[in-house]
Amino acid sequence: MGAGSRNLVWMDIRERKNILVTCGPGLKDYLIAELEELGFEIVSSHTGGVVTRGSFVDCMKLSLHLRTAYSVLYLLKEFRCGNSETLYKQVNALPWENIIDAEEYLCVLSRVDTYSINNSMYPSLKVKDAIVDRIHKKTGSRPDSGSDRNKAVVNLFWKKDKAWIYLNTSGLKLSDRNYRKMPFKAPLRESLAAGIVMATGYDGGQDIVLPMCGSGTLAIEAALIAMKKAPAGLRSNFGFMHFKVFDEQAWQRMRNDARKAVVKGRLKKRIIATDIDEEAIAAAKQNAKTAGVEHLIEFKVCDFAQTEVPEGGGIVIVNPEYGLRLGELDELEKEYKRLGDFFKQKCAGYSCYIFTGNKKLGGKVGLKTSAKMIFFNGKIECRLLKYEIYDGTRRFGG
Ligand SMILES: C[S@@+](CC[C@H](N)C(=O)[O-])C[C@H]1O[C@@H](n2cnc3c(N)ncnc32)[C@H](O)[C@@H]1O
């Protein structure tokens, strides 16, 4: 990334353009809420993402602050495209020599849904050639390219006869927060865990209890939310750093502002995370330490039914195994039934949630759900089941 080449920059990074923010299925509504809270307009939305408007610098801000997003993509060009020759010409016409340094490494990601081409490898190659050939013609050297998305990343979307070219300002997915060095078993993706916590309405103003915490993802995301800490604050590498238009000063200001906004000291409410497995708690503690939130979470090794639940109400979230990847179904049926008993007996005044990918097991809890929210864990359709446990339940012998 040539700092000296900034004068040559063709692209006005303050220009407001469409920004496509991608997310996992089921997370769109939470992403919209986050964008609105950050003051961004919603142009349109679909299952896999939300379109807003802003500058390249806004993309940097979004990459730092969004909890439920995968990638923040800055639109460079949209055009009619009936075949791969047009694709090459249109992409090659952009002044890439002012966007990507010849010393950079380039990765092209494509999603293609058009009549003439049925795999995305070939269009990716065409776009890569168009960019690299242009840079070679103008500078005499060409960037390396490949599938690593930790440097300069360009995205192509090609649907029927329309194509869009974006600068991927996030690079590696934003769900890679860099704190989970010890994954333990079946960890949730961080962006999904954040969406689940957001779906419960948690904002740090309630006690939150997380039995079966595994590697601690839900607890850590809850702590980051309570502290108002930028989820990507630990990352030192983003896609936007690998484009010539990167404004380092604006980035440093943004990071400092984010650091100043963090709630210092202890929280007024408690975050309690437990797991029956010592190794899980060791991993969760280490991950929380890396995320800088270890001091905010009370960890304990115990069966979920022994978890301390503070008086006064709050939120409980449990992500038990659900049999598709781990655990045996018969055993799990008993565990789900025990979870229902735990809610009734120990969680009066709490909104309790179970995140599961198995509908049938959800039915074994033996309590009436007050809401069901659909998410996807990878390709598995999952539900966040809500049980409202009223204060009277405990007194009247639930
Ligand atoms: C699906 S994993 C949770 C993954 C977690 N959400 C994460 O992101 O890492 C389920 C966890 O439940 C724990 N577990 C299973 N049976 C338990 C029990 N009876 N009491 C407490 N924890 C239990 C397992 O040790 C495992 O860590």
Look at ligand 1, atom 18, and give the residue with the nearest C-alpha. Answer: 303
Ligand 1 mean position to 274 CA, how many Å?
Answer: 9
Ligand 1 mean position to 278 CA, how many Å?
Answer: 11
Pocket of ligand 1 (CB under 6 A): 184-188, 211-212, 214-215, 217-218, 275-277, 280, 303-304, 319-321
Residue 300: pLDDT above 90? yes
Ligand 1 atom with the smallest distance to the CA of 305 is 20
Structure tokens at 148: 């690593």
Question: Is 98 strand, coil or helix?
Answer: helix
CA dist 309 and 109 (Å) reads: 46
Look at ligand 1, atom 3, and give the residue with the nearest C-alpha. Answer: 214
Greatest pairwise CA separation for the chain in angstroms: 80
pLDDT tens, position by position, 111-148 = 998 877 777 799 999 999 999 999 999 999 999 999 99
Give the residue-averaged pLDDT of 192-220: 98
Look at ligand 1, atom 17, and give the residue with the nearest C-alpha. Answer: 276
- Give 216's DSSP letter: S
Residue 228: pLDDT above 90? yes
Look at ligand 1, atom 5, and give the residue with the nearest C-alpha. Answer: 214
CB neighbours (10 Å) of residue 178? 16
pLDDT, position 2: 40
Ligand 1 atom with the smallest distance to the CA of 320 is 10
To test the pocket of ligand 1, the residue of 179, 181, 185, 356 to mutate (highest count of ligand atoms within 8 Å of its CB) is: 185
Residue 68: pLDDT above 50? yes
Ligand 1 mean position to 321 CA, how many Å?
Answer: 7
Ligand 1 mean position to 132 CA, how many Å?
Answer: 48
Give the residue-averaged pLDDT of 198-215: 97
User: What one-letter code names the amino acid at 247?
Assistant: D
Give the residue-averaged pLDDT of 219-228: 98
- Give 289's DSSP letter: H
Give the residue-averaged pLDDT of 152-158: 97
What global pTM score does this model have? 0.93
To test the pocket of ligand 1, the residue of 275, 286, 356 to mutate (highest count of ligand atoms within 8 Å of its CB) is: 275
Question: Is 313 strand, coil or helix?
Answer: coil
Residue 3: pLDDT above 80? no
Question: Is 83 strand, coil or helix?
Answer: coil
pLDDT tens, position by position, 49-66 = 999 999 999 999 999 999
- What ranges in the chain are assigned the alpha helix state H? 28-37, 56-65, 84-92, 121-139, 190-199, 217-227, 248-260, 278-291, 329-346, 359-362, 392-395
- CA-to-CA dists, residue 334 to 338, 345, 365, 382, angstroms: 6, 16, 9, 20
CA dist 74 and 63 (Å) reads: 11
**Domain spanning 190-231+264-395: which superfamily?**
Vaccinia Virus protein VP39 (3.40.50.150)
**Mean pLDDT estimate for the chain:** 93
pLDDT: is 260 or 328 the higher one? 260
pLDDT, position 262: 96
pLDDT: is 184 or 296 the higher one? 296
DSSP letter string over 320-343? Answer: ---SSSSS-HHHHHHHHHHHHHHH
Residue 206: pLDDT above 90? yes
Residue 326: pLDDT above 80? no
User: 65 in the Ramachandran plot: left (φ > 0), alpha (ψ -120 to 50) or beta?
Assistant: alpha
Q: What's the residue count for the chain?
A: 398
Ligand 1 mean position to 333 CA, how many Å?
Answer: 15
CA dist 347 and 205 (Å) reads: 17
Ligand 1 mean position to 289 CA, how many Å?
Answer: 20
Look at ligand 1, atom 7, and give the residue with the nearest C-alpha. Answer: 187
Look at ligand 1, atom 13, and give the residue with the nearest C-alpha. Answer: 212
Class of domain 3-168: alpha beta
pLDDT: is 45 or 182 the higher one? 45
**Lookup result for tokens 């007996």:** 345
Are 195 and 27 in contact by the 8 Å Cβ rule? The answer is: yes
pLDDT, position 1: 39
Ligand 1 atom with the smallest distance to the CA of 355 is 6
pLDDT, position 324: 60
Look at ligand 1, atom 8, and give the residue with the nearest C-alpha. Answer: 187
pLDDT, position 14: 77
pLDDT, position 116: 75
Q: In the chain, where are the structural domains located?
A: 3-168, 190-231+264-395
Ligand 1 mean position to 360 CA, how many Å?
Answer: 19
- What ranges in 97-206 are assigned the alpha helix state H? 121-139, 190-199
103 CB-contact burial (10 Å; exposed 0-12 / middle 13-18 / buried 19+): exposed
CA dist 71 and 49 (Å) reads: 9
